[in-house]
Amino acid sequence: MNTFLSRANTIFAFTLSVLASLTFGCFLSTYFNTNLTDVRINTGKIIVKNVPDYSASREKQDLGFITFDIDSDLTNIFNWNVKMLFLYLTAEYETKTNVLNQVVLWDKIINRGDNANLDYRSMNAKYYFWDDGHGLKGNQNVTLTLSWNVIPNAGGLPKIRGLGEHSFAFPNEYAVNKV
């Protein structure tokens, strides 16, 4: 006869198999969702300063300051398998030393049940817009994009780039530092 431990092991293994199958079904039911939506981004105030970097070298570096507007409705991304969205605004630009520079300027977490309709005006960057040299002054092609990670209950963690971007130019002169 089977012992109690043998029967408990069988029930436990069967339960884990059923739970694994249900989790896979949860993942598969939303795998083909695109999670895309339109994003409108605009910039307001744009200035660039030449300030000392507080690292060991103490050389002066470019520091950009921008205000931006974001308008997007992300409610259609949420379904029963989406726990939260991690949003981040990225600036991409090219310099003489680097073909691609990417800087995260702002981020936000939106949980299921929160207001997922973004309508932000004149927002300041949450993080510094440093360049490791002098690549911001006079740069004519800086592109802002809004991207997000979909945090699911079960399944992969896709990185999605919103439909829409905004390009702007930094001024050709440094702003005056006020002491």
Residue 60, SS3? Answer: strand
The residue type of 92 is E
What's residue 105's pLDDT?
96
What's residue 77's pLDDT?
93
Per the prediction, the chain carries an average pLDDT of: 91
Domain assignment of residue 178, yes or no: no
Structural domain count, the chain: 2
Same domain membership, residue 112 and residue 65 = yes
DSSP notation for 88-141: EEEEEE--SS-S-EEEEEEEEEEETTS--EEEEEEEEPSS-EE-SSS-STT---
The residue type of 38 is D
- Token pair belonging to 14: 């069967």
Please write the tens of the pLDDT for every residue from 4-39.
Answer: 999 999 999 999 999 999 888 888 888 888 899 999
Same domain membership, residue 8 and residue 85 = no
Distance in angstroms (rounded) separating the CA atoms of residues 63 and 136: 8
Task: Flag whether pLDDT at 57 surpasses 70.
Answer: no
Question: In the structure, what pLDDT confidence band is assigned to residue 64 with cuts at 50, 70 and 90?
Answer: very high
pTM of the model: 0.85
- Token pair belonging to 103: 């800087």
* Host domain of residue 59: 34-168
The residue type of 24 is F
Domain assignment of residue 84, yes or no: yes
